[in-house]
Amino acid sequence: MPELMYREALNQALAEEMERDANVYLIGEEVGRYNGAFKVSQGLLDRFGSARIIDAPISELGFGGLSVGAAMVGLRPVVEMMTWNFAILAMDQIVNNAAKLRHMSGGQLRCPIVFRGPGGAGGRLSSQHSQALEANYAHFPGLKVIAPATPADAKGMLKAAIRDDNPVIMFEGERLYALKGEVPEGEYVVPLGKADVKREGTDVTIITWSRMYYFCMQAAEELAKEGISAEVLDLRTLRPLDEEAILASVRKTNRVVIVEEGWALAGIGASVVDIIQSKAFDDLDAPVERVTGLDVNMSYAANLENATQPDAPKIIAAVKKALYRQGA
Amino acid sequence: MEAPAVASPYSKDLLLTMYRKMYLIRRFEERAGQQYTLGKIAGFCHLYIGQEAVAVGPNEAIRPDDYMLSAYRDHGQPLARGSDAGMVMAELFGRGTGYSKGKGGSMHVFDIEHHFYGGYGIVGGQIPLAAGMAFASRYRNEDRVTVCYFGDAAANQGALHETFNMASKWKLPVIYICENNRYGMGTAIARTSAVPEIYKRASAYDMRGEPVDGMDVLTMYEAVKDAAAWCRAGKGPVLLEANTYRFRGHSMADPATYRSKSEVEEERKNDPIPKLRDYTLKQGLAVDADFERIDEEVKALVDAAVKFADESPEPSLEELWRDTIVEPGEEDVRPRERVLGVKVTNWPKYPTGQELKVTWDLEPRAQAELADKKAGLSH
Ligand SMILES: Cc1ncc(C[n+]2csc(CCOP(=O)(O)OP(=O)(O)O)c2C)c(N)n1
Ligand SMILES: [Mg+2]
């Protein structure tokens, strides 16, 4: 299987879906002649022309809303947000229009649209450019929210998102784009709403998504050296949550650590804890631990930035706490 | 009867159709207001009384398959388009037989069969949607236009400015009709706007913009006929500022004490409905009896609409779990089929991704490259 960078996997998904369906277009800042701020759309303008790869003005609300309108009447837009920080300006169109059209129209309209772009910490960019905002969108009925960690999932889930008849919010990552992984060629579609056990284990379940997945895998390798077998469950889709997969893993290991880049309060992890405590309380041998971003704004200084985010040592410590092996 | 000095360019049929629709809206709204005070309608309910010409003139000037959408003051446009009055009233009543099964209410009337794409409750939020619908028409090489209504106060939303820029740059076939009724809730537009003449804002985007007498249905008709031809010819968007007036408060909850009695009385003299009636009579195209007959028919229709709504059941509780997410293979709901059992034949249909050939060059490459060369950039 060929190895591709995350950004190349996305590029492949876009090109394949645009080839397959002329209703699909890509719009966003710098997606055309500049080939994308993160080069996800490399080469697509030459291949598909200026009506399908559209360089937008810096008007997130405007081109976001315009694309919701196009989706209402049969097109399948992919809207690239240069980063999710900027998409906050488009939130009205996503939340009040895209997520509610089917409801307000009593089932007359559908809104097949994908909003995608990088989320999470950018890397020495300070607070306005470093935020994990997926919990905000996961809050809204009418949306689907995905956050693939690997290049293969990025490809398969973007293809599924484009084919989905609902608005899909896709969180990529500035620091994921250059990561490499094996990616199946051609028709490879990963269904939305399905979590994936990325590493099997028996002693503890580490639940995560997006970039934190890599810290979790690193922690699991370290823990293995100490004889602790950690299962890593990659949620991949944050709305709807794959309850079945979460509960199956909890019932197997009886101990859980949830790792989330964003803030703890009203985070996705809080909802996962709620599912576990209400449906698998008797299966738990210890309280569920959470590792999250600190409850502060992200700083520019390297040491402050690092300290703000979860990392492998923090995850290892949380696992040991869940195993009552602190100080061991 | 005296012969008119100049023969009317309008047919009797067109004039009576416009009269009937304006009177239907008037009567419907009067009854809706009354039902609100009886507690049959709740929440926000914004009446269209006084603004009827702004919905009816444009609707007669475009094709049935052109798109239309509006803000939350949205009972008039679907009635002009031909929506079932009973089902619109049922939506206001929150009944399962409403166009949106009672999920949307007064502010969210949608009738896709008649190409009415909804009422939107966030001020200015529908403005980008309309550009996107026009974008889709252009993308598919259709000669359809989109007509989008918004209020005077919505002109101060960023959404409008972002959208006008794109619509003009990409020459999208969209007609924006600003319903300038001079107030956003209780605030006179001039109090919050540096440029209270909304049409002038089009000039910032090199876009056609004109004021129109929104109290005259024929003027509205002509303006939109012309604008639609302009749009269909690929010349880009048009902004029409329809100067109009709402005879009632902002919503049923508003006694409108911020306006003087004399101002309202003065404006009522401009009532678009008697104006059209007088014109038609003067042209000798109809007699009093024609109007009396129409009035009676409309009254009966609206009575039946209220009765239909009142006798309709609330939506079933299972409806809670429908219409949030589209499941694979799920069809769209066709309201008149669902409620009245009639076969809907003009539901919009679009080419599949394999049938569609996109030929539009949104930013012609040759032109862009030439500009780059001039700027000393290489390729
Ligand atoms: C974004 C937003 N802000 C505020 C409101 C509350 N609101 C509803 S209607 C309205 C006035 C709008 O006036 P205008 O656009 O002139 O339309 P009109 O009601 O006169 O038809 C306001 C402030 C809202 N619905 N949406
Ligand atoms: Mg107003």
Check pLDDT > 70 for residue B3: no
Q: Is the CB of B160 under 6 A from ligand 1?
A: no
Q: Which domain holds residue A171?
A: 3-182
Say how many C-beta atoms besides its own lie within 10 A of residue B359's C-beta.
Answer: 10
Position B377 scores a pLDDT of 81
Position B2 scores a pLDDT of 58
Domain C-terminal end among A155, A182, A209: A182
Domain C-terminal end among A113, A147, A182: A182
- Between CA B173 and CA B371, with CA B139 as vertex, the angle to 5 degrees is 85
Q: What is the ipTM metric for this complex? A: 0.97
Q: Band of the pLDDT at B378, cuts 50, 70, 90? A: low
Low-confidence ranges of chain A (pLDDT < 50): none
Residue A263 lies in a domain: yes
Residue A273 lies in a domain: yes
Check pLDDT > 90 for residue B372: no
Say how many C-beta atoms besides its own lie within 10 A of residue B180's C-beta.
Answer: 26
Residue A118 lies in a domain: yes
Residue B265 lies in a domain: yes
Rg (CA), chain A: 20
How many residues in total does chain B contain? 379
Residue A200 lies in a domain: yes
Report the CATH number that the domain containing residue B264 is assigned in CATH. Answer: 3.40.50.970
Which of A105, A111, A145, A162 should we substitute to test contact with B (largest number of B Cβ atoms within 10 Å)? Answer: A105
Check pLDDT > 80 for residue B142: yes
Structural domain tally of chain A?
A: 2
Q: Are residues A24 and A138 in the same domain?
A: yes
Q: Are residues A213 and A295 in the same domain?
A: yes
Average pLDDT, chain B: 96
Q: From CA A85, how far away is CA A127, in angstroms rounded?
A: 10
Closest ligand 1 atom to Cα of B151 = 15
CA dihedral (A26, B163, B226, B69) positive or negative: positive
Q: Mean per-residue pLDDT for B312-328?
A: 98
Q: Are residues A147 and A257 in the same domain?
A: no
Q: Tell me if B133 and A69 make a contact (CB, 8 A cut-off).
A: yes
Closest ligand 1 atom to Cα of B122 = 26
Residue A267 lies in a domain: yes
Report the CATH number that the domain containing residue A279 is assigned in CATH. Answer: 3.40.50.920
Q: Which of B44, B122, B123 to mutate to test the pocket of ligand 1 (most atoms within 8 A of CB)?
A: B123
Q: Are residues A96 and A222 in the same domain?
A: no
- Within 112-131 of A, beta carbons closer than 8 Å to B belong to none
Q: Tell me if B139 and A93 make a contact (CB, 8 A cut-off).
A: no
Q: Are residues A121 and A143 in the same domain?
A: yes
Structural domain tally of chain B?
A: 1
A103 vs B: CB within 8 A = yes
Q: Band of the pLDDT at B373, cuts 50, 70, 90? A: confident
Ligand 2 centroid distance, CA of A40 (Å): 44
Q: Which tens digit of pLDDT belongs to each residue from B62-94? A: 999 999 999 999 999 999 999 999 999 999 999
Q: Which tens digit of pLDDT belongs to each residue from B217-271? A: 999 999 999 999 999 999 999 999 999 999 999 999 999 999 999 999 999 999 9
Distance between A15 CA and the closest CA of chain B, angstroms: 14
Q: From CA A134, how far away is CA A145, in angstroms rounded?
A: 7
Which one from A29, A60, A80, A260 is the annotated catalytic residue?
A60
Q: Band of the pLDDT at B312, cuts 50, 70, 90? A: very high
- Name the nearest CA neighbour of B272 among B210, B222, B213, B226: B213
Residue B326 lies in a domain: no
B133 and A69 Cβ atoms separated by less than 8 Å: yes
Structure-token pair, residue B87 = 């089902």
Residue nearest ligand 1's atom 13 by CA: B184
Q: Are residues A202 and A167 in the same domain?
A: no
Q: Tell me if B332 and A50 make a contact (CB, 8 A cut-off).
A: no
Q: Are residues A138 and A256 in the same domain?
A: no
Position B190 scores a pLDDT of 95
CB pairs below 8 Å between A and B: how many?
A: 191
Ligand 1 centroid distance, CA of B301 (Å): 31
Q: Mark whether A134 is an active-site residue.
A: no
Residue B250 lies in a domain: yes
Q: Tell me if B132 and A52 make a contact (CB, 8 A cut-off).
A: no
Set of chain B residues whose Cβ sits within 8 Å of the Cβ of A74: 136, 140, 348, 350
Residue A287 lies in a domain: yes
Q: Which domain holds residue B44?
A: 12-319
Position B1 scores a pLDDT of 53
Closest ligand 1 atom to Cα of B181 = 20
Q: Mark whether A226 is an active-site residue.
A: no
Q: Tell me if A105 and B100 make a contact (CB, 8 A cut-off).
A: yes
Domain C-terminal end among A182, A210, A241: A182
Q: Is the CB of B152 under 6 A from ligand 1?
A: yes
Say how many C-beta atoms besides its own lie within 10 A of residue B310's C-beta.
Answer: 14
Closest ligand 1 atom to Cα of B189 = 16
Q: Tell me if B166 and A66 make a contact (CB, 8 A cut-off).
A: yes
Q: Are residues A173 and A209 in the same domain?
A: no
Residue A311 lies in a domain: yes
Q: Which tens digit of pLDDT belongs to each residue from B351-363? A: 999 999 999 999 9
